[in-house]
Structure 1
Amino acid sequence: MTDAELNTALYKKMFAEQEQFKDWLLTQPPEKILERSYEYSVREDFLLALEYDDLTRGQAAALLASPTPLDDLFHTYDATEMHHMEEVWSCLESLAEHRKAEQAVQEERLNISCKEAIEGAIDGNYKENSLDAKAAAQEVLDQFGPERVQTVLAATVQDKDWDARFSRENKAWAQTVPMPLAVDGANRRSRWLVDSHPGLVNLFVDQVRDLVREREKEKPSVIQQLRQEPTSGKTKAAPPKKREPER
């Protein structure tokens, strides 16, 4: 047999072996099919590799002599594969970092929009030297939610801690509000600090804190939430993490 004929004969033998494995696999329960799907995929890759490349005459003849060359190849690969999970983890970390950066940028944009909304609400509710702080605060809270509004306001107060027009109570409160991490290591909080008159911002902060406290009081307690949760339709718990993937 020529080199090409040996490679063709090996390919046909491995193809028939794979077809037999597939026929058996399709008779198995779904759980077993999922368990062996990795094996099926790797065996398909070996067939694809042999379809596009040729072994030497001696190599092809050596594999052809085996009753189950494809099965032998899979178990050899499975035993020697050392970098696959490292590559999987690297991909996981890379995508997570990319999405983390995207989310940080989006959060910064929303904080800037919230800052602009606060300034607009203060301007729109300031009439005849008087600020309708409750209406202004309610307007922004409804649009952006208490967490973001408080973050933007606390950052503003922290940045102007020297300004006596902010009350000591609001300065102390601002220090308790956690700040988001900087984007790409750069501190861009200055882009979402409220630029309105400090005295008006202080009144706005007072009202936001009051409204948030009122909302917290209206929330059901943990016991009430547990009593309201349905008892049927339990979700199957995820299995514990494994250090090594099952093959």
Structure 2
Amino acid sequence: MNTNDLNTALYEKIAAEQDKFRDWLKSQPPAEILNHAYEYTVREDIVMAMEELELTDAQAKALLDSPSPLADVYRYFEKLETGYMDVIRDSIENRADDVCRAQEELRSAPLYPHSAVYASEHGEMAQYNLSYQANSACKEAIEQAISAHYGENRLDTESAVKDVLKKFGPERVQFILANTIQHKNHDGRISQDNKAWAKTIPMPEDSGTSRHCAYLVVDGVNPGLTDLFTRQARKAFQEPEKGSVLQKLKQEPPAHKPAAPKKREPER
């Protein structure tokens, strides 16, 4: 046989050996299948590599002489010290870094104030799309925070609001809540005070008819809980302003009153 025939014969023998191993594995109980999962995967990779690998005549003949060349190669591979776990660790860290960067990009994305039509006409669709992604994530975060902090017929509004504000900031949270309440204007579970507040928050030109704005409505929780969340959020929106004024007063040096003129002693 020529070199090509030898390699073909070796591939077919290895592939047949893997087919036999697969059939045996299928007949085993689940626990035994799991025990051999790594071995099966590596053997599959060996078969795949053999499809493109071209060994010398001597190499191909040496492996063909073995009754189980695939098992031989697997046992040899198993003894090697590879960088496989380093690759796994790098993959975990790199994926975590990618997620962190994506989350930070969403957090820091400016809130786009106009409609998609306006953005398209002014060449600002990239800013619009990034803002919309952040808005959608914020809406979901509000629903998740309310669900996570609700129990025994009580909502821990302070913790729920704090979680969301930490991730998305007051401007975006304010927008999502106001958009939600404006779309639920006829819902009696939303307080009149919150409805009046929501009308003061600027919205895109087409917010009443926009499909995107309709998607940004907090709908995954009871509107009464959204109302409680909004009330607490409005308090939190005002706190930084009060705090900044107080901080400014603390930092400013106290005003010094001009010294009173000394009284002149009467002449004797």
With normalisation by structure 1, the TM-score equals: 0.50
Partner of residue 142, structure 1:
227
Structure 2 segments unaligned to the other structure (5+ residues):
109-133, 135-167, 180-191, 199-225, 251-268
Number of the residue aligned with 2:5: 5
Does the 8 Å CA contact 2:3/2:56 hold for their aligned counterparts? yes
Q: Could you give the per-residue CA deviations for residues 25-55 of structure 1, whole angstroms, max 9, x where no partner exists?
A: 0100112212212211211111111112211
Over the matched positions of the two proteins, sequence identity in percent amounts to 32
Counterpart for residue 93 of structure 2:
93
| Pairing 1:72–2:72 present | yes
The verdict on how the C-alpha distance between 1:106 and 1:68 changes in structure 2, with shifts beyond 3 A counting, is same
Shift, 1:153, TM fit: 4.9
Give the CA deviation at 1:144.
Answer: 5.6
CA contact (8 A) 1:14 1:47 kept: yes
* Residue 114 of structure 1: aligned partner: 173
Q: Distance in 2 between matches of 1:148 and 1:64?
A: 73
Q: Which structure has the larger Rg?
A: 2
Structure 1 pair 97/157, CA: closer, same or farther in 2 (3 Å)? farther
How much is the aligned-residue C-alpha RMSD, in angstroms?
A: 3.6
Residue in 1 that maps onto 2:261? none
2-structure distance, mates of 1:84, 1:155: 50
Residue 186 of structure 2 is matched in structure 1 by none
Q: How does 1:191-210 map to 2 (within 5 A)?
A: none
Distance in 2, matches of 1:137 and 1:157, equals 24
Q: Give 1:94's aligned amino acid.
A: N
Amino acid at match of 1:104: E
1:20 CA displacement: 1.2
Q: Is the 8 A contact 1:10 1:64 kept in 2?
A: yes
Cα distance 1:117–1:20, how it changes in 2: closer, same or farther (>3 A)?
A: closer
Answer yes or no: is the 8 Å Cα contact 1:6–1:57 preserved in 2: yes
Checking the alignment, whether the CA contact within 8 Å between 1:114 and 1:152 is kept in structure 2 is: no
Q: CA deviation at 1:21?
A: 0.5
Q: Provide the secondary structure at the position in 2 that maps to 1:82.
A: coil
- Give the secondary-structure state (helix, strand or coil) at the position aligned to 1:55: coil
Q: What TM-score comes out, normalization by structure 2 length? A: 0.47
When residues 38 and 117 of structure 1 are mapped into structure 2, their CA distance, relative to the original with a 3 A threshold, is closer
Q: Are 2:194 and 2:231, in contact at CA under 8 Å, matched by a contact in 1?
A: no
